[in-house]
Amino acid sequence: MAIPWNSNVKAAGQLTVYDALTSGNWVHIFKIALQLFNGLGLPVKMTQAKDEESANVVMKVSTVDGKRLHGNTQLFHAQGGPLEKAVVVLPNDPQSSAGFVRGKEVVERASLDMMKVIAVHELIHACGLENNDHATDDGVFYFPLAPSGTGKLIVPAQGKNDRPMPPLRLAQSTVGKVASLWQ
């Protein structure tokens, strides 16, 4: 169930995001991810915070289970209350399976395009959407996304047209859920 931000944050129409992606594969993704998110046309914008303490959202890298091809966003709020903080945790070395060769799995490091999609997906969670709010029809907020074989991510569901991302797209279901939180 989606969780709205506190009234002061909602009234501002923006989330401030602190960049704790100071090393490794993600170091150059932060500003790109904010720009891509802001280009989605959602009723909330993301801006860079000057410090972690005052930020609404913190983006950082995890060293635990660091090879996953997806991140995790933790939403902090009192029981039944509005959101007060979100922490986006990205895998330090995201990888995808390229298949099997002679019975042994071959993995590839995630491309820059894949990392962009992962980061923006998690920023959408930071708007107040939980895992049960994932899109079931299409777009960057679908879960699980899958490697395209060309360094991008696709919606792997049967009957989808396998359009690789980026460029990013949102399902109308995701637009509606985010809009309902930020009206």
3-class DSSP string for 108-127: EECCHHHHHHHHHHHHHHHC
Q: Are the beta carbons of 37 and 43 closer than 8 angstroms? A: no
What is the chain's length?
183
Rounded to two decimals, the pTM is 0.93
Residue from 121, 122, 86 nearest 4 by CA: 86
Domains of the chain from N-terminus onward: 7-177 (3.40.390)
pLDDT in tens, the chain (183 residues): 899 999 999 999 999 999 999 877 899 999 999 999 999 999 999 999 999 999 999 999 987 767 788 899 999 999 989 999 999 999 988 988 766 667 777 678 899 999 999 999 999 999 999 999 999 888 999 998 888 888 899 998 766 777 899 999 999 999 999 999 998
Packed helices 112-126 and 30-38: angle between N→C axes, nearest 10 degrees = 60
| Spatial distance between the Cα atoms of 60 and 90, rounded to a whole number of angstroms | 6
